[in-house]
Amino acid sequence: MGGIAGVRVFSGDGVAEATLVEMAERLRHRGPDASGTWVGPDVGLAHARLAIIDDEHARQPMLSADGRWALVLDGEILNHESLRTHLDHPFRTRGDAEVVLAGLALEGISFVERLRGQFAFVAHDLRTGATHLVRDRLGILPLHYRHVPGGLAFASEVKALLVVGPAAALDHRSLDAFLATRTVPAPDTLFEGVKKVRPAHRVAISAGGHVEEVPYWVPPECDPDGTWSAGDAVEAVGDGVREAVRTALAADVPLGVHLSGGLDSSLVAAQAQQLRGDDHLHSFAVASDGETDPARRVADLLGTRHHEVAVRADELDALWTRLTWHRDAPIAETEDVEAFALARAAREHVGVVLSGDGGDELFGGHGRYRYARLAERAHVLPALVRTGLAGPVERRLGATFTSAERQRLLGVAPPPDRRTSAASGADAVDRMLRHDLRHDLPDHLLERADRMSKAASLEVRPALLDHRLVELAFRLPTSLKVRAGSTQWVLREAARPLLPDEVIDARPTRRHHALLDAGVRDLLHDRLTGTGSWVATTLDPDVVSGLLLHSGGSGEVDARLWTLLGLEVWHDCFLGTAPALPRPRQSAPSYVHGS
């Protein structure tokens, strides 16, 4: 694990090693254990390392034994040991980076299709001059790039890209998408000219500067009706979850689990604890004031070494800019603050935690999936009815600001080229699940988990996102997921041998942090209406004033105000002044390779 960065040049004097060192420094939180650089003909690579496997020997950047390939890898290739046994190669390390290099040397870039796990890597072919940027199938780990004068820069996080090329600027065309969902769908970002490599894609950069993006994986279509009996589906999902969690447990450092008390994290924790036997796992949850906290109940049932983490309101003001810097995006939800608090506490005990992220998007867990059919059929309703339903339906589907509100705020209609394309699928729910797998999951939930955990130098593994379990989930029909009023039906049934019914059938509850809301309320008026406020000068002031007017009192702060305040802090952090490290850090060991 760690952070990766580099520059590919097409003209000029090559890559300055000092630039690579500075890019790696911006990523030190992702890899505090060591850093390294490599400079070759017209290309330079940098790596910041978080040691999880083979701490002593698996340093990067790394060159293949035949001298053809140079590599920087972020992540874990979870099947590297099985791949190692099938590759005719004299391995010098136990790490996964050397396995990737051996595969590239034998099979070329198509070797990516044999990798299993969470990863992003850059591989440069010294024979052809091509540079490949590759991201895992689900988008668990990030990879960005931007064109710069005379070349192209790439990095795990945007802040490292800003070392090279022009100053950061806002991509106004992405604002509509952000206000709708509090994220920007790949390949775009809130930064002008900065792109994300899309999940399950590789970007090939030729020696002449041509850039081509190529997909290497798509989830399978649903199997025909009648293919699966309910019993067979439950058995297959149970086996798939067990194998996914078993694979995710591989690490040379202590390992724990996140617990929310919901089905997904509870199932991952239960399966992990069963596989570990008497080795009691550490579990981590956000503290609750209630005596019947569901996470605490699950921890007691499983016998984990449980830690409850308090989210303190008095830290919010000080943390907001720091977490925005780490997020590369606005902190627009309390869940961002919770994720960092959990990661910071977990890092004191373990180096890796498993999470249940992705279970809702695989098996139909979100309440909005019940409205998928209504959303698709709305266009056939009479205009007056459609207009009246538009706002409520958008809210049910998860929109922060409705399309009408966004148009008032921005004063323009959304750019047509930034609308996400509709996903194909067997029915309305299946199409929504595929859309969420492609956008909401990687661009929102997984991006938050990655940035907030790496802010504490912790690795998070979403165990359910093993791509083989994902393929199984998308082969199953909707009737096995949303069934008889129950969401995630097949996953719930698969969990019954491991968890009591009271946990499996509990209704999901939303945590409300009144203290955090109070901290936000104290900032709202000054940051959104004061002199120098970007929101006040850019967005419609009447809409903003109306939201502030209705936010009086001591109730929950409107999610729309959280979103605007997060956007204001982000703009100030990245565009108001030059980005800087949020705090001094101790130097890590460094090493340099020459061409």
Q: Is the pLDDT of residue 99 over 60?
A: yes
* CA–CA dist 34, 13 (Å, integer): 28
Quick check: is 211 in a domain? yes
Domain boundary among 504, 535, 556: 504
| % of residues, the chain, pLDDT over 70 | 89
Q: List Cα–Cα distances, 83 to 68, 88, 226, in angstroms.
A: 20, 10, 36
The per-residue pLDDT for 386 is 44
The per-residue pLDDT for 593 is 57
385-395 pLDDT per residue, tens:
445 556 777 88
Claim to verify: residue 479 and residue 338 sit in the same structural domain: yes
Helical (H) or strand (E) element with 131 = strand 131-135
pLDDT band, residue 522 (cuts 50/70/90): confident
Quick check: is 105 in a domain? yes
* CA–CA dist 520, 375 (Å, integer): 33
Quick check: is 198 in a domain? yes
Helices (H) and strands (E) in the chain, counts: 24, 18
The per-residue pLDDT for 293 is 85
Q: Is 355 assigned to a binding site?
A: yes
Claim to verify: residue 198 and residue 306 sit in the same structural domain: no
403-451 pLDDT per residue, tens:
999 999 999 988 887 777 778 898 999 999 999 999 999 999 999 999 9
Write the CB contacts of 188 (distance below 8 Å, at least 6 apart in sequence).
Answer: 171, 173, 174, 177, 195, 196, 418
Claim to verify: residue 132 and residue 184 sit in the same structural domain: yes
pLDDT band, residue 520 (cuts 50/70/90): confident
- By CB atoms closer than 10 A (0-12, 13-18, 19+), residue 90 is exposed
- With the CA atoms of 66, 69, 74 and 75 taken in that order, what torsion angle do they form, in degrees rounded to the nearest 10? -50
Claim to verify: residue 41 and residue 176 sit in the same structural domain: yes
Structural domains in the chain (count): 3
Mean pLDDT is lowest, of 59-63, 131-135, 303-307, for 59-63
Q: Is the pLDDT of residue 120 over 70?
A: yes
* CA–CA dist 113, 87 (Å, integer): 15
The per-residue pLDDT for 362 is 97
Claim to verify: residue 61 and residue 206 sit in the same structural domain: yes
Strands (E), 361-512: 459-462
Q: Is the pLDDT of residue 381 over 50?
A: no
The per-residue pLDDT for 499 is 96
Mean per-residue pLDDT of the chain: 88
Helical (H) or strand (E) element with 73 = strand 69-77
Look at strands 459-462 and 352-355 and give their pairing.
parallel
* CA–CA dist 107, 372 (Å, integer): 43
| % of residues, the chain, pLDDT over 90 | 67
Q: Is the pLDDT of residue 291 over 80?
A: no
Peptide bond into 61 cis (omega under 30): yes
Q: Is the pLDDT of residue 550 over 50?
A: yes
* CA–CA dist 340, 321 (Å, integer): 13
Quick check: is 591 in a domain? no
Q: Phi and psi dihedrals of 542, rounded to 5?
A: -65, -40
Claim to verify: residue 50 and residue 22 sit in the same structural domain: yes
Distance between the two ends of the chain, CA-based, in angstroms? 24
Q: Phi and psi dihedrals of 495, rounded to 5?
A: -85, -15
- pTM (two decimals): 0.92
Claim to verify: residue 296 and residue 339 sit in the same structural domain: yes
State the alpha helices, DSSP H only, in 290-418: 294-302, 316-327, 334-346, 359-363, 372-377, 383-396, 403-410
Q: What is the CATH number of the domain that holds 40?
A: 3.60.20.10
Helical (H) or strand (E) element with 195 = strand 194-196
Claim to verify: residue 307 and residue 287 sit in the same structural domain: yes
Claim to verify: residue 491 and residue 544 sit in the same structural domain: no
The per-residue pLDDT for 506 is 86
Q: Is the pLDDT of residue 587 over 50?
A: no
* CA–CA dist 161, 245 (Å, integer): 34
pLDDT band, residue 485 (cuts 50/70/90): confident
341-370 pLDDT per residue, tens:
999 999 999 999 999 999 999 999 988 887
The per-residue pLDDT for 310 is 86
Q: List Cα–Cα distances, 460 to 8, 122, 346, 354, in angstroms.
A: 30, 21, 10, 6
The per-residue pLDDT for 52 is 58
Is 575 within 8 Å of 162 (Cβ atoms)? no
Amino acid letter at 523?
A: L
Domain boundary among 183, 217, 251: 217
Q: Phi and psi dihedrals of 383, rounded to 5?
A: -55, -45
The per-residue pLDDT for 370 is 78
HSE, side-chain direction, 13 A CA sphere, residue 404: 10
Higher pLDDT, 41 or 421: 41
Q: Is 356 assigned to a binding site?
A: yes
Claim to verify: residue 235 and residue 210 sit in the same structural domain: no
Q: Is 237 assigned to a binding site?
A: no
166-178 pLDDT per residue, tens:
999 999 999 999 9
Quick check: is 589 in a domain? no
For the beta carbon of residue 501, count every other beta carbon within 10 angstroms.
10
Quick check: is 590 in a domain? no
213-266 pLDDT per residue, tens:
999 999 999 999 899 999 999 999 999 999 999 999 988 789 999 999 999 999
* CA–CA dist 295, 354 (Å, integer): 15
Domain boundary among 504, 527, 558: 504
Report, as an integer, the average pLDDT of 81-110.
90
Claim to verify: residue 532 and residue 499 sit in the same structural domain: no
145-159 pLDDT per residue, tens:
999 999 999 999 999
Report, as an integer, the average pLDDT of 447-470.
96
Rg over CA atoms, the chain: 24
Q: Is 286 assigned to a binding site?
A: yes
Is 111 within 8 Å of 118 (Cβ atoms)? no
Quick check: is 374 in a domain? no
Quick check: is 417 in a domain? no
Q: What range does the domain containing 530 cover?
A: 514-576
* CA–CA dist 170, 181 (Å, integer): 18
Claim to verify: residue 191 and residue 331 sit in the same structural domain: no
Q: Is the pLDDT of residue 588 over 70?
A: no
Mean pLDDT is lowest, of 191-205, 262-276, 330-344, 511-525, for 511-525
